[in-house]
Structure 1
Amino acid sequence: MSTQIKVMHTFNAPRDLVFKAFTDSDHLKNWWGPKGWMFEVSKSDFRPGGVFHYSQKPADGDVMWVKFVYSEIIAPEKIVYSSFFSDEEGNTVRAPFHENWPMETLNTITFNEEEGKTTLTMIVAPGSPTEEEVKTFEDSKEMAQEGYSGTYRQLDEYLTKIKTV
């Protein structure tokens, strides 16, 4: 079995809207990341080879920088990107929460619409991990799945607000 995290979530919204919420930083800033954390976009270049660079900060902690590098985009069906913890300049750094978290994760998100609802499937896997990184990733699966699920619940709430606008 491969080392990966798989999260599925169904949104009561059309695929085009859910895809736009994932690809437009004006939408992302309203729902992405842990609840109650500050979120700021530094760079948003949504295209293959483009970079999305942002910071997030808990009320009682230090700022964390994250960088996505997009490798495949098929609107509104699929987004593939690599994710890295970074510094403010975008240089890759170790995750601030665990020294053996993989330096890179590969992320594939697919969007399937049926009867006006969109099912998102997200698969996250470490990129070229060491044995220690694989173990840390495996040990963190449940925590990571809960984190993604919480983020998608925030998107559920956000979509109900923008659907009526």
Structure 2
Amino acid sequence: MNENQMASHKSAQVGDREIAITRLLDAPRELAFEAWTKPEHLSKWWGPQGFTSTFQRFELHPGGTWEFVMHSPEGVDFPNTNVFTEIVRPERIVFRHAVFPHFVATAAFEEQGGKTKLTYRTVFEETEAVFEQVKTYAAPGAEQTLDRLEALLAHLASK
């Protein structure tokens, strides 16, 4: 991604069983990484607009489990289980979503002049036909989730 594209602040691309979102976050890399790795922060922004999350387990290490339930505004519960496969502070977090829809997610954090370039990529293990259906809610849901991350970071940075 060149500097002109980053100037637009955010971008999203949906490919063959992959969703990639890039954001230039107005926060230092360490703070952005902390927002992803501390349950007290993560629980405030993880999930689409209007959703809340209840964490049951959060073991931040390779092989560790992150179990939680996302609660929709309509009262529907969505149990989730992720297994961390790689943690490189403050550069990268990789986890596998172990329930439907199955995917591997990578959050990469790059320092850019006091801000953070976040690249969040999910590669789905489902068939193309299933991915065609999943992407209709997964792509906008991921965008809304990262909007909520940006709002939390603005709040944390103002303290």
- Give the alignment's TM-score, normalised by structure 2: 0.84
Aligned match of 2:7: none
Q: Deviation of residue 142 (structure 1)? A: 5.0
Which of 104, 107, 130 matches 1:106? 104
Distance in structure 2 (CA, Å) of the matches to 1:38 and 1:114: 31
2:56 matches 1:42: yes
1:32 aligns with 2:46: yes
Cα separation, 2, equivalents of 1:136 and 1:13: 36
Give 1:157's aligned residue. Answer: 151
Tell me how many residue pairs correspond in the alignment: 145
Name the residue aligned to 1:144. 138
The corresponding residue for 1:118 is 116
Which protein has the bigger helix share?
A: 2
Any unmatched runs of 5+ in structure 1?
86-94, 96-101
More strand by share: 2
Aligned partners of 1:114 and 1:73: how far apart in 2? 20
How far 1:122 sits from its partner (Å)?
1.4
Say yes or no: does 1:59 pair with 2:59: no
Percent identity, please.
30
Letter aligned with residue 124 of structure 1? T
Aligned mates of 2:147, 2:73 — CA distance in 1: 20
Q: Displacement, 1:140?
A: 3.5
TM-score, with normalisation over the residues of structure 1? 0.81
- The CA deviation at 1:134 is 2.2
Equivalent residue, structure 1, for 2:9? none
How much does 1:164 deviate?
Answer: 2.2
User: In the alignment, residue 150 of structure 1 is paired with which amino acid?
Assistant: Q
